[in-house]
Structure 1
Amino acid sequence: MNWNGKDTELYQQQKEYIDTVMMPLVPVSFSGDMKEAASQFEFIQLLTELLEKQFRGRILLVPPFSYRRKQEGEEKAAALNQWADEMSDAGFRHKFFFTSDSDWKLMEEAIDGTLIWVPSVPLEHMENSYKYSLIEEQAKQFVRIIVHKWQEN
C-alpha cells in the first residue's frame, strides 16, 4: 500500500493484517554532491515502489525520511527513531528502512528497525526497460530478506 488517500483508507480498514512499514532514507544536498543524492533518491524510490507492489496488502510504503547530507549521524538516527517509535505505536511489528547512503551502516545498531543498504546505480542514462529489469533483479534479493524477517517473528 502506498501513502495516498485510497490506499491509506484501505489500510485503516485492514490494519490488523498490515504489520510492516517501509521507509526510504534519502539525503538532500544542494552542493557538489547534489546529483549523487538525487540519483540515490531515484534508485531507492523505484526499488521500494516495486517491493510495495510485490507485497501489496502486507506493506505500507510511507514517504521518504529526508535529511541533510551534512547532518550528524546521531541526530539523523534520533530523528529516524522518533518515526520508528510512531510506527511501533501504530502497530507495525516490522520496520524496513532502505537507503543507498553508506553512512547509515555506521549507525545500524542504533536504529529501531531493519536497515537495508543497497548501493545505488546511476539510472539517468539507462533505457527504461533496462532500468526496470535492473531494479527487479535487486528487488528479488530483498524479497527474501523481508520474508525471512517475517518468519523470524
Structure 2
Amino acid sequence: MKWRKNDMEQYVEAKEYIDTVIIPLIPFQMAKDQELSKDSFQNEALALFLTEMEKELSGRLLLTPNYHYIKASDLELEKDRLNLWVANVQEQPFKHIFFITFDSQWKKVEKDLAGTLIWLPGFPTSDLISKEVQQMVRGQVSEISELIRSYW
C-alpha cells in the first residue's frame, strides 16, 4: 500500500494484516552541480524499486511518503528527526519498520535508528527503462523481499 487516499482507506479496514512499513530516505541537495544528475537519478531509481517492492509484498506492507533531508545536514540531527517519524508511525500497529536508501552515510547511525536500515548500492547512472536496469531492480527487489520476509 502506498500513501494515497484509496490505499489508506483499505489500510484502515485491514490494518491487522499490514504489519510492515517502509520509509524511503531521500537525500536532497542543490549545491553541487556535478551531483545533481546522480542524485535525481537515484531518486527515480528508488521510486521504481519501491513500486516493485510494494507490488511484491502487497497486503503486508505500507510505503510511507519519502523522508527528504539535506544531503550535507548533520546526520545525528536527521537521525533524531527520523526517529520522531517512527514514533508517529508506531501509533499504528506496525511490528516491522524498515528504512531504504542509496545513501551509505546512514550506516554511521544505523544502530541508533528505531527500525532496520536497508542500504542499497546505487545503480549505474543510465536509462531506467533499459533491460539491464530493469533486471537489476527485479533482482534487488527479490533479495530485499526475502530479507523482509525473514523478519516476519
* TM-score in terms of structure 1 length: 0.92
> What amino acid is aligned across from residue 10 of structure 1 in structure 2?
Q
Which residue number corresponds to residue 111 of structure 1? 113
Give the whole-Å Cα distance in 1 for the aligned partners of 2:53 and 2:127: 23
1:118-149 CA distance string (max 9 Å, x none): 11113543544332221001111101110111
Offset at 1:37? 1.9
Give the whole-Å Cα distance in 2 for the aligned partners of 1:123 and 1:42: 11
Residues 1:55 and 2:57 are matched in the alignment: yes
Q: How does 1:3-152 map to 2 (within 5 A)?
A: 3-32=3-32, 33-125=35-127, 127-150=129-152
Offset at 1:4? 1.0
What's the C-alpha RMSD, in Å, of the aligned pairs? 1.3
Stretches of structure 1 that go unaligned for 5 or more consecutive residues are none
> What amino acid is aligned across from residue 79 of structure 2 in structure 1?
A
* TM-score in terms of structure 2 length: 0.93
Aligned length: 150
**Preserved CA contact (<8 Å) 1:43 1:122:** no
**Preserved CA contact (<8 Å) 1:40 1:101:** no
Identity %: 33
Offset at 1:36? 2.3
> After the TM superposition, which parts of structure 1 deviate over 6 Å for at least 4 consecutive aligned residues?
none
